Amino acid sequence: MTTERDYWERHARNYDASMRLLGGPLPRMLELASAAVRDKQVLEVAAGTGIVTTAIAQTASNIVATDYAAAMVKKLEHRVRDARLANVRCEQADIYELRFAPDTFDVVVAANVLHLVPDLGRAIASIQRVLKPAGLLVAPTFCHDETKTAWLLSQLIALSGFPGHRRFTARSLTDTLQHQGLRIQRSETLSGLIPIGYVEGAF
Ligand SMILES: C[S@@+](CC[C@H](N)C(=O)[O-])C[C@H]1O[C@@H](n2cnc3c(N)ncnc32)[C@H](O)[C@@H]1O
């Protein structure tokens, strides 16, 4: 049986190329995320090939960067090694099964993954468990229903078997996270072919 994880194992090869097409919102997203993690102990979930990791490593104290797809972790390790980042450790981990003690991290970065997880409540609970009290969740997320262009592009991407579970607008993203108990401290809509809703807050 083919799983959603298999999609990401296969997609690791061309993920960076797809992000060149969809990367319009990235500069502002990386600027905001880098400011949020300054001097913090960070867990990054669903780090993919490390596009976000290598940017936020410039300001974070240290980062444990994780993804559940082995092929993604391999790409991530290469990128971290090439950038000579001594403050990043890479591990394979499922967002639902984070093998860290409770209250470990100042910040959890979950970039472009909350629209993908089948069980959002379980993913948030798992993140919340490893965050210190009043720790920060940084969750910039592609919003496939934000514009007509995004909607159209998203339909095309879906034909390739893209395993999306939620079609957010920037508004529905903040509403959903508030409903999950997040007190939002910053939100911005970052424009692009598929806009990103940038959200950070604490539980
Ligand atoms: C759209 S990519 C985002 C990668 C990176 N955060 C970025 O913004 O460039 C989604 C990533 O989520 C990972 N992923 C999906 N479901 C996951 C899960 N349950 N646990 C951990 N990683 C997951 C995939 O393997 C993939 O690398």
Q: Residue 198 is part of a domain; what is its CATH number?
A: 3.40.50.150
What burial class does residue 159 get, using C-beta atoms within 10 Å of its C-beta: 0-12 exposed, 13-18 middle, 19+ buried? Answer: exposed
Instruction: Give pLDDT, residue 172.
Output: 98
pLDDT of residue 152: 96
CB–CB of 181/155 below 8 Å? no
Which ligand 1 atom lies nearest to the CA of residue 109?
6
Sign of torsion over alpha carbons 124, 142, 113, 3: positive
- The answer to whether 93 and 108 are in contact (CB under 8 A) is no
Per-residue model confidence as pLDDT tens for the chain (203 residues): 669 999 999 999 999 999 999 999 999 999 999 999 999 999 999 999 999 999 999 999 999 999 999 999 999 999 999 999 999 999 999 999 999 999 999 999 999 999 999 999 999 999 999 999 999 999 999 999 999 999 999 999 999 899 999 999 999 999 999 999 999 999 999 999 999 999 999 99
Pairing state of beta strands 196-202 and 141-142? antiparallel
- Nearest to 30, CA basis, from 56, 58, 48: 56
Two tokens at 66?
Answer: 């994780």
For the chain, the domain total comes to 1
Taking the centre of ligand 1 as the mean of its atom positions, its distance from the CA of residue 66, in whole angstroms, is: 9
Q: Kindly state if the Cβ of 47 falls inside 6 Å of ligand 1.
A: yes
Range of the domain at 192: 4-202
Residue 61, token pair as written in the block:
């104290």
| pLDDT given for residue 1 in this prediction | 62
50 lines ligand 1 (CB under 6 A): no
Q: Residue 171: what pLDDT?
A: 98
Q: In whole angstroms, what is the distance from residue 176 CA to residue 41 CA?
A: 26
